[in-house]
Amino acid sequence: MEKFPNPSNDNTFNEAKNNYMLLKLYKLLTFIGSPLIDLYLFKRKKTGKEDSKRFPERLGYPAFPRPEGTLVWVHAASVGEALSVLPIIKKLSDANEDVNFLLTTGTTTSAKLIESRLPDKAFHQFIPVDMPLAVRRFLKHWKPDLALWVESELWPNLVTQTGKKCKMILVNGRISDNSYRKWLRYKSLGQQILRCFTLTLPQSKLDAERFEALGAGNVKYFGNIKFDAPALPSDSQKMGELVSQVGERPVWLASSTHENEEVMIANIHKELKEENLNLLTIIAPRHPKRMAEIVKDIKETGLNIAVRSKEEPIEEETDIYIADTLGELGIFYRLVSIVFIGGSLVDKGGQNPLEAARLDCTIIYGPYMDNFKEIKHELEEAEAVICVNNKSDLKNTIEELIKDHERQEELAKAARKLVDEKAGVLDSYVKEINTYLEQITGKKDKAA
């Protein structure tokens, strides 16, 4: 039975009681509001934001039977979180041959990218929506023995119901500034959710302090596992074709761009073209489903476009090459020397710059890097990155870097050095998680 504290302090007691009731109210509303949530999901399916063939998974229905033996459930919200946790799954799998791993994500892009990269005895399913019936259906079928949740997606029904069934570990945990302010307003509510985790492994010292302030138990800080992520994969044949098409032209990449950034990038290219720079600009949009809008907007600038998914080659007159295919970012990071990190000129929190750093790129980003605040701070302290304030700054920076190869190399080396120095926390994570996994497998062996 859930309880709230004894009324030793009236204000604390009343706050705890109110937040306890708030959690109950959330559970009630997600129960009685299930038809509306179903309707919302169906709308997402119609617009291509849900996988129509695997849609039942979002309602908690399994795609296949539960494998026998120990099952570790790993939840990662999207692509970045899923990629960061893959090395942990692989190491745990190598050390525990009889253990199966279920990885859940919530986006179609992550599903397409991740499934081919999972080790043996690991498989993917979509996370159920946070409705009591869907959660119950999911947990009843999969019966996880241990749950690992990556970073910051904490759905109340999923977390509290899973916490009653098995031990949970928060991996590479993160709390944004906005989330922290909200959790502080409902501190005892946050504590009810965070206390479901037996162990919290934060990605920065600031996150560790925040988790402890919000009442999380057993917080251990080792570092950020994103520094241990392997280099993004490439394809030598495809890479060779692109190198041949680009030739001697200077080329730069705007990676994981968001709405409004593509037009800014196109206009920067147009300005640089007018200054007689025979430049090629590659844009890799974060969400390729926006392609129709992106192509329309860029064509209005009068620039020549080639689209990768249409197998259009890069020609001498090509201004903008749109890399709208999945799983090929590693190719483009190897092709270029200058990378602008998208989601940072518009207020989207940025994207992971370490993927570019690991592949010896010169990194530029805008002012909005809130989702990678600690990484941003470390890169800037190491003088390994250029932070621009606006479109005009970005244009000037690209122009300067194209003419200054020595500066490019200096920045790229500093970024790579930081990544190499900060790597090594993966083993600490695996050791901590394995402690709990060995307890579970040991119990199962005894029961057998």
Which residues are marked as active site? Answer: 81
**Contact assessment for residue 206 and residue 227, using Cβ atoms and an 8 Å cutoff:** no
Six token digits for residue 411:
């920045």
**Contact assessment for residue 401 and residue 431, using Cβ atoms and an 8 Å cutoff:** no
Q: Distance between CA atoms of 248 and 239, rounded to whole angstroms?
A: 15
Q: What are phi and psi of 176, to 5 degrees?
A: -70, 165
CA angle (206, 207, 211) in 5-degree steps: 120
Q: What are phi and psi of 148, to 5 degrees?
A: -115, 120
Q: Distance between CA atoms of 104 and 110, rounded to whole angstroms?
A: 9
**Contact assessment for residue 96 and residue 441, using Cβ atoms and an 8 Å cutoff:** yes
Six token digits for residue 229:
């992520």
SS3 102: strand
SS3 235: coil
What are the b/e assignments for 152-178, b being 16+ CB within 10 Å? Answer: bbbbbbbbbbbbeebbbbbbbbbbeee
Sorted by sequence, the CB contacts under 8 Å of residue 247 that are 6+ apart come out as: none
Residue 2 burial (C-beta neighbours within 10 Å; 0-12, 13-18, 19+): exposed
